[in-house]
Structure 1
């Protein structure tokens, strides 16, 4: 596959955003926690369902040849079911058939998606683990490669065996004890007074990108290591309503090994790349003692230069609707967790 160059419009200083986030929240770092600001529901079981419109778009560009390739899976909605209790949480994501998981399969092919997430809370530390896999992509800009192609009539160019999988971990630390990260991300706390915090996060993940079609077998394995000075702020609009926003620039490094076989000849290429990313989002939510719901919008973009003429970019822009319910756990659940909690 040819390598391409990125000409994205994101000309800004990640370091400048980092300094802004640090300056804006440094006055909160040494404050002591005020229990009237945050109501915790970690002793309750929280069941939640999310529906989102996230679709990854892999963008390859070649500046010299003025070519552009856009790869995306054929999925419109994703469903996540999650459960949180005490210091642990788990989520499962999939694309169910009843939600029209694949649209126009005869034109775009079939895609599949699975996602498993685990999270652990240790005071102000948050540890995340995730595994996700997406299979089946089509070329969104097929018209650029197939003269006479008609949208809605002719099938898109498809790569049904193209698979992207990730084993990821993240370690976060909430600097401001009077800010509830759980309120906006996991909904097992309730932020009562407006507050914000810098949340430094270290991401480390192992990925495989595999392709086996047209007599070509290729597998790229890469390990990413990124550091992000994320900043979150929650504005309490009403006793039960809040709006929150966040910005998360990050810098890191990618160690890559690309192995490809064509006509019985295998080539191995090893590279190290400098990677950049920025993410932002806004969330409008409702919280009460039992019921939680809300919606949020997220924009994420990451990119890296492979050489002076080629780069790779991944874009994500999606909305999320969520609905959850808090309730008392059964006695056997309380008993099982009692050795690990103060309850």
Structure 2
């Protein structure tokens, strides 16, 4: 397809793999809980219950590149509409798996947009007022969403999108969060393994650090980008209890960070290696309406996130997303065997 514009992605990133197995920390201090007394009139913990939950969300891995010289914008997006996450939490440990099954609109209109794949694994550890999270995700297959900007005679729904089936992004991510107010339940609105019974708010400081790779092998170009991000988000969360079981919560999370990148491109017989660092900025805000009881939890969450950084004087990479999440879960007593397996760590 001739779009009138040559697209040669210059994928950038950086230093080596930083994700290290963190699970050994679960053996350190997890039975001691929070050293600050928590008021049970404000919240009820359910770490001793198994919680199974399903999340349906519309978030996708989109990338936008803006050339400020001519005002052109390239918008890359994978061909999936919804993502399903199945999770299980018990005591100090939580795990979830994300997929895009066919019945949720995965790879719709394959003839026009191509095929995409998505895999996501997440682990979390609850250590008193600290929450440690780990994530691995991989997405393959993107298409150019804004084809009309490059091909004026292109017709939506009839003409195929420009596709990059060999464009793959992978992420190894970690985050460390600290909740300042012991009477505010960060877990109630993020993981639903506590029950906020009285209105409260708190500052939550989170350090994000992740290692990413982008690989591209098309149009006689073999490119691999590696980059390492680190950013700090001083967030504020507040939960207002509408009724004993109903609550609404909101948050505002600005963040600043640094991206270190290294890009290696093989174009024919010429190899180009480029190393850079960038100052990154982002802001996120969310609104959550939920229901919580001793056994049943469900709710809906709306989130807006905007992030950007300048690659040079005349180019900028940005990503603006507005997405929703629906979740439903159930709490129940763990089997005796599970209690015995966790007893050396919890003392219960």
Instruction: Assess same fold via TM > 0.5.
Output: yes
CA contact (8 A) 2:284 2:305 kept: yes
Q: Is residue 292 of structure 1 aligned with residue 297 of structure 2?
A: yes
172-181 vs 99-108, greater mean Cα deviation:
99-108
Q: What does residue range 169-318 of structure 1 map to in structure 2 within 5 Å?
A: 169-318=174-323
> Contact 2:68/2:316 (CA < 8 Å) preserved in 1?
no
Helix, strand or coil at the partner of 2:317: strand
1:133 maps to 2:138:
yes
Shift of 1:32: 5.3
Counterpart in 2 of 1:24?
none
| Partner residue, 2:106 | 101
Mapped partners of 1:307, 1:172: distance in 2: 32
Q: TM-score, normalised by structure 1?
A: 0.90
Q: Deviations over 1:67-110 (max 9, x none)?
A: 11111111011000000000000010010012221111100111
2:117 alignment counterpart = 112
User: Which digits, 9 at most, give the CA deviation of each residue in 1:162-219, with x for residues without a partner?
Assistant: 1111000000100000000111111110000000000111110000011110110111
Residue 338 (structure 1) aligned to one of 324, 336, 343: 343
Q: Aligned partners of 1:2 and 1:111: how far apart in 2?
A: 18
CA separation in 1, counterparts of 2:250 and 2:152? 44
Number of the residue aligned with 2:38: 33
Q: RMSD between aligned alpha carbons? A: 1.5
Q: Per the alignment, in what secondary structure is the counterpart of residue 261 of structure 2?
A: strand
* TM-score normalized with structure 2 length: 0.89
Find 1:168's aligned residue among 173, 176, 180.
173
| CA distance in structure 2 between the partners assigned to 1:316 and 1:166 by the alignment | 18
Aligned to 1:66: 71
Looking at structure 2, the residues matched to 201 and 190 of structure 1 have their Cα atoms a distance apart, in angstroms, of 22
| Structure 1 residue ranges, 4+ long, deviating more than 6 angstroms after superposition | none
- Does the CA-based 8 Å contact 1:56-1:315 persist in structure 2? no
Structure-2 residue corresponding to 1:322: 327
Shift of 1:285: 0.2
1:69 match: secondary structure: strand
- List alignment gaps of at least 5 residues for structure 1: 5-30
What SS class does the counterpart of residue 340 from structure 2 fall into?
A: helix
- Residues 129-149 of structure 1 show CA distances to partners (whole Å, capped at 9, x for unaligned) of 001111111001112222411
Q: Counterpart of 1:86?
A: 91
Q: Which runs of 5+ in 2 are unaligned?
A: 1-7, 12-35
Match of 1:16 in 2: none
Q: How many residues align?
A: 318
1:57 shift after superposition:
2.2
Structure 1 CA distance for aligned equivalents of residues 259 and 331 of structure 2:
40
Distance in 2 (CA, whole Å) between partners of 1:247 and 1:342 is 37
CA distance in 1, matches of 2:101, 2:9: 34
